Amino acid sequence: MIGASLGAAAYERASEISAILAVANPVDDRRLARLSSRPDVVLALSGIGISFGGVKALSDVDLEVEVGEIRAVIGPNGAGKSSLINIISGLYHADRGRIAIDGQSFSQVPASRLARLGVARTFQNLALFGGLSVRNNIACGRVHTRRASFVEHIAGLPRARSEDAGIAEKTDQIVAFLHLESVADRLVATLPYGLQKRVELARALVAEPKLLLLDEPMAGMTATEKAEMAGFVRAARDRHGVTIILIEHDIGVVMGLSDRVAVLDYGRKIADGTPAEVRADPAVIRAYIGTAEGENGEDIR
């Protein structure tokens, strides 16, 4: 399903990956681990399944993400997109399947170690710290790099101060990168929705993750805001080289922004390929026509 644009070598590698991912026994897990430890695969999911009560939110989903790509995951409401991101970030525990992040294989990703594994994320519904300023919200994104204890902070000892200074500098860079200077010292809760979404992106980017998970970063935005946000997402990849998984309902944005697109429907992956391939895929067209077409402006053509 991988496009010719990736070249024959890439195609071979990709089919090798999916052949390995399709089966799940200990030997193959080890092969999966070896494969995913290759520097060009940041994330590999194999046979992921999760259900809530009777609802199968995901069944047997495979996905592999290469370094530096923008990998879109699309699908109708309730298709399981957020569940997938929640499994990758350790907030949900998959019933079946394995997750390999940057060469380390897990059946359950430890959420508390996520940042140190090089993964950052944003949430579909805003998850900011309302009582902190924009700058402090962003600075929190680097908390995983801190070592100084609370005593060092209270006493203002050198290690605490140098950590603060280093983080302040990184925060300033991200504030400038995302054009947040004019609101940097405001309480985040007082910002309009579109800007809050941007602060959440900033908090994720300041961690300098290898892999960035964006769950509908443009939902509820105006067309201008969306275009702006799309520009930031692309710039984050181009300038900082971060690999991105992007969930988005606006098909126009997705097609313009992503290198490859995976399509989920009722918890199954029904298509995976370049935007052009996915757009032409009959199964995808059926899935989108089957659900009220254009509901979220998600006209596939």
Ligand X SMILES: Nc1ncnc2c1ncn2[C@@H]1O[C@H](COP(=O)(O)OP(=O)(O)OP(=O)(O)O)[C@@H](O)[C@H]1O
Binding at 79: pick from Mg ion, another protein, ligand X, none (beta carbon under 5-8 Å per type) = ligand X
Number of residues that bind ligand X (CB under 6 A): 12
Binding mask 118-137 for Mg ion (x = CB under 5 A): ------x-------------
Binding mask 176-215 for another protein (x = CB under 8 A): ---------------------------x---x--------
Answer yes or no whether residue 136 interacts with ligand X by CB under 6 A: no
**What is the closest distance, in whole angstroms, from the C-beta atom of residue 253 to Mg ion in the complex?**
16
One residue of 67, 132, 280, 285 binding another protein per CB under 8 A: 132
Answer yes or no whether residue 235 interacts with ligand X by CB under 6 A: no
State which residue, 78 or 194, has the beta carbon closest to ligand X: 78
Answer yes or no whether residue 236 interacts with another protein by CB under 8 A: no
Number of residues that bind Mg ion (CB under 5 A): 2
Binding at 91: pick from ligand X, another protein, Mg ion, none (beta carbon under 5-8 Å per type) = another protein
Answer yes or no whether residue 296 interacts with Mg ion by CB under 5 A: no
Instruction: Please name the residues in contact with 295: beta carbons below 8 A apart, sequence gap of 6 or more.
Output: 76, 77
State which residue, 72 or 139, has the beta carbon closest to ligand X: 72
Instruction: Please name the residues in contact with 144: beta carbons below 8 A apart, sequence gap of 6 or more.
Output: 115, 116, 207
281 vs 271: CA distance, rounded Å = 7
Binding at 80: pick from another protein, Mg ion, ligand X, none (beta carbon under 5-8 Å per type) = ligand X
State which residue, 76 or 141, has the beta carbon closest to ligand X: 76
**What is the closest distance, in whole angstroms, from the C-beta atom of residue 156 to another protein in the complex?**
7
> Applying CB under 6 A, which residues contact ligand X?
52, 55, 57, 75, 77-83, 124
> Applying CB under 8 A, which residues contact another protein?
89-91, 111-116, 120-121, 123, 127-132, 136, 139-141, 143-144, 146, 148, 150, 153-154, 156, 160, 163-164, 167, 203, 207
